[in-house]
Structures are given as structure tokens and as C-alpha cells.
């Protein structure tokens, strides 16, 4: 008797014009396909900007054959870009402006294939309306922590309970299952309650609570157990949607270079656990004063360091989030560093203004710690590789993440600003020595090694996140049976 052919289940994803978000949702798709080979086909619909860089094409070129990306025409962005508008507003409004194209694409897809589920990025929740329209299961993909999701779920209550600006609130903010958090550490969108960013944030949070089949969060039960349990208890009473912990979802696959890049070759020559890796992500920038203080702090620490993705100074921390900008002098791209710094530290460290393969760097034996902006992708990559952190948040929800890793998980030391918006070199030296050499650093190292084991367990064959994804996969496969 012949076996019946395998039926392919089609899933549609909707992302936003931000590479870190695109990586996260597509890595989730890769994880789904890895666990359920040949039974799924994924189409990812991606709004674009005229300023979208081509430097990430290697990532899309390396995707499996059963993940297909549709890049939508560029949305009109000129009234927002370079106008002091926050990253959150730019991301959400650019996604919103692409929704008519998203709907058109989904309707066209639905005419040729049975779509079982729609998964939309947390910054594009409007797309879930199309799931209802097409009678398909609809989910939000939340690329941040469960704690930040809890902030979103409680945002309306907080708005009613707290009368002042959150940054001026005298006490700590208490959320079920989460560490108490300072109002100053809530996401940027909450820091000006009269702003458009705050209005859009509250609207987005309301959509998280209603009108879909669940939220996929890029975390894992063992990392944020109490927060996950607290949300689940509310969910059982019908207050919250079902939350699926599917992480850690981190970047995998080709790094974009067939040969080992300069920084990996340099790391090969260093002693085990001896190098501090410094990166503020794909879009973070520092002021001139802060670049000077960080450079001198690295030098004075006498610690080996690898400083990558360094951009020309800018007083807006997110100034280059949507572009490749930041370099102003091709002949001397690092001219803005303190005079003589590169010469004095040529045996101590390596500074790069360009891209570095972060996953390979964090997995390298010579890396001893990570000075990070605390983007959630970077936090998870650090945890997966068991690398302790210096938490140095810049924008978006990064201060919330910094509070979680330093005060909650206790796998990081946090940079504190003494001057207005500047961490001074003396404190930078203390942070580096405390983490790389001190007793406190030893305890942090022990804790992050424990989390590394838990992260690996979560994605093993019978791990908590693997089981969660299996449950989702079965639901999606059975949608049309």
C-alpha cells in the first residue's frame, strides 16, 4: 500500500522595516522548519524603507528553500526620517503605512494556497485583522522579553494608577512575577505620556490583549519562570491571551563571510576568556564625550578588548538604526577617537567601524565578557553562549532588559551615568575589572553558565520551548484537516 504524500502547511509572517526584528521572526521560522522538516512552507512579508541597507542580503540569501521572502515596495518615510522621531514611532508608523500592501499580498497568497496561520511582528499588530478576514489563525511574534510583555499587558492599569511621568515616580513599579523596576527603566515609548509614541504604545498594547490566537514570545520558561507563570494565571481567567515561550531564538547559519574575518583572526591569538567584546548593536551610537570616556576607560583597564560597529559620534543614541550612516571620513574613519588612542592600544585591543559576526564572536573561546546595549537579541546570544555582560542600554526597551539582566538574573553589571548622559572612564575601569577579575564577576560568571545550560535544555528534543513549538505546529497542521 502506497503511503500518502506529505501535506505542506503554509504559514505567513509579517515583519517590519528593522533588521533585528526580521532576523528574530525568520530565525523562529528556521527553528520551526528544523523541528518539522518538509511539512511547512513559510512566506515572510517584509515592508521596506528607501534607506534599507543592502548589507544584510547575505542573511536572506542563506535562508532555507522553504522560506520565501516578499519585500514590499518602500513606504513613504521622508516626513519621519532624521527628524528626531523615536525608533518606536518610525518602526510602527512605517509598518502601518505598509498595511494596504500587506493585505494585498496576503489576499493574493490565499488565492493560491491554504494559509494555516499568520504571525505578525509585535510592531505590526494591525496585520492580525487580515487573519480574521481570511479566517486563519493569527498570532503576534513578540521579539522581546516576557517582562517587557508583562509591562505591555499592564500598561493600561499603570496609566490609571500612576499620576506623574514614570521617570518621576518615587517608588518602584511592581508587576506580577517580575522584578520591581524603576519608572526610568520602562521602555522609551512610556517616558513622555503626552507624546505620540505613548499614544501609539497604548494602542499597540491593547491589540496585544485582543483579537488573536496567542503571542509567541522570544524567551524561555526557565529564564523568566515567575513572569511566565503570572501571565499564564491571568490568561487562565480570560484576561490575557495565551503566551507561547518559543525561545531562545538567536541568529544561526552563515555569518556572511566565507573566510574568517579580521576580528576572529585577532581573537584566535588571544588567551581564553581574556577579551572584553564591546558592541552597541547594529544601530546604536554614542556622543563624542561618551566615545572619549569609553575609549580612555578601555585603555586604562589594561584589559584586552574588541570594539566593533563603532560609528561617528551622534547625540541621538538611535541615529543610525535605519541606515548605514555614521562614517564621515573614508580616509580616516576612526578619526573621532581620542588622539593617540589607537597607537597606544594597538597591542591591547582591536577597533572596527564595520560589521562583526556577533554569534561567532560570543562563541569564541577568548571572549570573557560582553559590554552590550542590551538589545534582546544580544542578551539572548550572550546567555546562550554563557558570556557575562556589562549592561549599557541606549534606547527602546533596552533599559528594561538591563534591569532584568543585572537586578533580576544577576548575570550583568550595569553602567551608571554620573555626568549627564555619560559614563565616566573611572567607572568604566571599575566595571571592566569587576567583571573580568573581581569576586563579583566570578559569581556572575557562575550564574550565566547555569543559564547557558538552561537555554540549551529549552531547545533540546524534549525541552520546554521545543514542546511549545511542537504544540503550535500540530495546531497549524490540523487547521485544514
Per residue in 318-332, pLDDT (tens digit) is 555 555 444 445 557
Rounded CA separation 481/468 (Å) = 21
Decide if pLDDT at 199 tops 80. Answer: yes
Rounded CA separation 397/109 (Å) = 34
Q: Helical H runs in 257-409?
A: 262-268, 288-301, 341-344, 358-362, 376-384, 398-403
User: pLDDT value at position 418?
Assistant: 77
What is the C-alpha end-to-end distance of the chain, expressed in Å? 22
Whether 141 and 13 have beta carbons less than 8 Å apart is answered as yes
User: pLDDT value at position 328?
Assistant: 44
H, E, C per residue of 375-425 = CHHHHHHHHHCCCCEEECCCCCCHHHHHHHHHHHCCCEEECCCCECCECCH
Task: Identify the band that residue 193 occupies on the pLDDT scale cut at 50, 70 and 90.
Answer: very high
Phi/psi for 232 (5° steps) reads -65, -40
Decide if pLDDT at 371 tops 60. Answer: yes
* All structural domains of the chain: 9-247+461-477 (3.40.50.2000), 262-455 (3.40.50.2000)
Which three cell numbers mark 416?
A: 551608571
Task: Identify the band that residue 78 occupies on the pLDDT scale cut at 50, 70 and 90.
Answer: low
Rounded CA separation 250/378 (Å) = 8
- The reported pTM is 0.94
Decide if pLDDT at 480 tops 70. Answer: no
Which three cell numbers mark 83?
A: 527628524
Find the range with the poorest average confidence among 86-90, 231-235, 385-389.
86-90
Whether 351 and 367 have beta carbons less than 8 Å apart is answered as no
Rounded CA separation 241/370 (Å) = 35
Which three cell numbers mark 434?
A: 569587576
Q: Which residues are catalytic?
A: 21, 121
User: pLDDT value at position 361?
Assistant: 97
Decide if pLDDT at 86 tops 90. Answer: no
Collapsing DSSP to helix, strand or coil, 223 comes out as: coil
Rounded CA separation 229/75 (Å) = 40
Per residue in 456-471, pLDDT (tens digit) is 999 999 999 999 999 9
Amino acid at each position: 500500500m502506497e503511503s500518502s504524500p506529505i501535506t505542506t502547511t503554509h504559514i505567513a509572517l509579517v515583519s517590519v522595516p528593522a533588521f533585528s526584528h526580521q532576523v528574530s521572526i525568520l530565525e523562529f521560522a528556521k527553528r520551526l522548519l528544523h523541528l518539522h522538516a518538509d511539512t511547512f512552507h513559510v512566506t515572510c512579508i517584509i515592508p521596506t524603507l528607501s534607506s534599507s541597507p543592502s548589507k544584510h542580503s547575505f542573511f536572506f540569501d542563506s535562508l532555507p528553500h522553504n522560506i520565501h521572502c516578499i519585500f514590499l515596495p518602500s513606504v513613504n518615510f521622508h516626513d519621519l526620517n532624521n527628524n528626531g522621531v523615536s525608533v518606536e514611532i518610525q518602526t510602527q508608523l512605517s509598518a502601518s503605512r505598509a498595511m494596504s500592501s500587506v493585505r494585498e499580498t496576503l489576499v493574493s497568497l490565499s488565492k493560491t494556497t491554504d494559509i494555516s496561520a499568520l504571525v505578525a511582528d509585535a510592531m505590526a499588530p494591525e496585520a492580525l485583522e487580515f487573519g480574521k478576514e481570511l479566517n486563519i489563525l493569527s498570532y503576534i511574534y513578540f521579539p522581546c522579553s516576557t517582562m517587557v510583555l508583562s509591562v505591555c499587558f499592564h500598561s493600561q492599569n499603570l496609566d490609571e494608577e500612576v499620576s506623574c511621568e514614570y521617570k518621576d515616580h518615587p517608588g518602584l513599579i511592581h508587576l506580577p512575577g517580575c522584578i520591581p523596576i524603576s519608572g526610568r527603566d520602562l521602555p522609551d515609548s512610556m517616558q513622555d505620556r503626552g507624546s505620540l509614541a505613548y499614544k501609539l504604545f497604548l494602542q499597540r498594547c491593547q491589540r496585544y490583549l485582543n483579537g488573536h490566537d496567542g503571542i509567541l514570545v522570544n524567551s524561555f520558561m526557565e529564564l523568566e519562570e515567575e513572569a511566565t507563570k503570572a501571565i499564564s494565571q491571568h490568561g487562565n481567567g480570560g484576561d490575557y491571551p495565551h503566551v507561547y515561550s518559543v525561545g531562545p531564538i538567536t541568529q544561526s547559519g552563515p555569518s556572511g563571510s566565507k573566510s574568517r574575518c579580521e576580528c576572529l583572526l585577532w581573537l584566535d591569538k588571544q588567551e581564553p576568556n581574556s577579551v572584553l567584546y564591546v558592541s552597541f548593536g547594529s544601530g546604536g551610537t554614542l556622543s563624542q564625550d561618551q566615545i572619549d570616556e569609553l575609549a580612555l576607560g578601555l585603555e586604562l583597564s589594561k584589559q584586552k578588548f574588541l570594539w566593533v560597529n563603532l560609528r561617528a559620534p551622534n547625540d541621538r543614541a538611535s541615529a543610525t538604526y535605519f541606515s548605514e550612516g555614521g562614517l564621515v571620513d573614508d580616509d580616516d574613519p576612526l578619526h573621532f577617537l581620542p588622539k593617540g588612542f589607537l597607537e597606544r592600544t594597538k597591542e591591547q585591543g582591536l577597533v572596527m567601524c564595520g560589521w562583526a559576526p556577533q554569534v561567532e564572536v560570543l562563541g569564541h573561546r577568548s571572549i570573557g565578557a560582553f559590554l552590550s546595549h542590551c538589545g534582546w537579541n544580544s542578551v539572548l546570544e550572550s546567555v546562550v553562549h554563557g558570556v557575562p555582560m556589562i549592561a549599557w542600554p541606549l534606547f527602546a526597551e533596552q533599559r528594561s532588559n538591563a534591569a532584568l539582566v543585572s537586578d533580576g538574573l544577576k548575570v550583568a553589571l550595569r553602567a551608571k551615568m554620573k555626568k549627564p548622559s555619560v559614563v565616566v572612564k573611572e567607572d568604566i575601569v571599575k566595571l571592566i575589572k569587576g567583571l573580568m577579575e573581581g569576586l563579583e564577576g566570578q559569581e556572575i560568571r557562575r550564574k550565566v553558565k547555569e543559564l547557558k545550560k538552561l537555554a540549551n535544555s529549552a531547545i533540546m528534543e524534549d525541552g520546554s520551548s521545543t514542546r511549545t513549538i511542537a504544540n503550535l505546529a500540530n495546531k497549524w497542521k490540523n487547521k485544514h484537516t
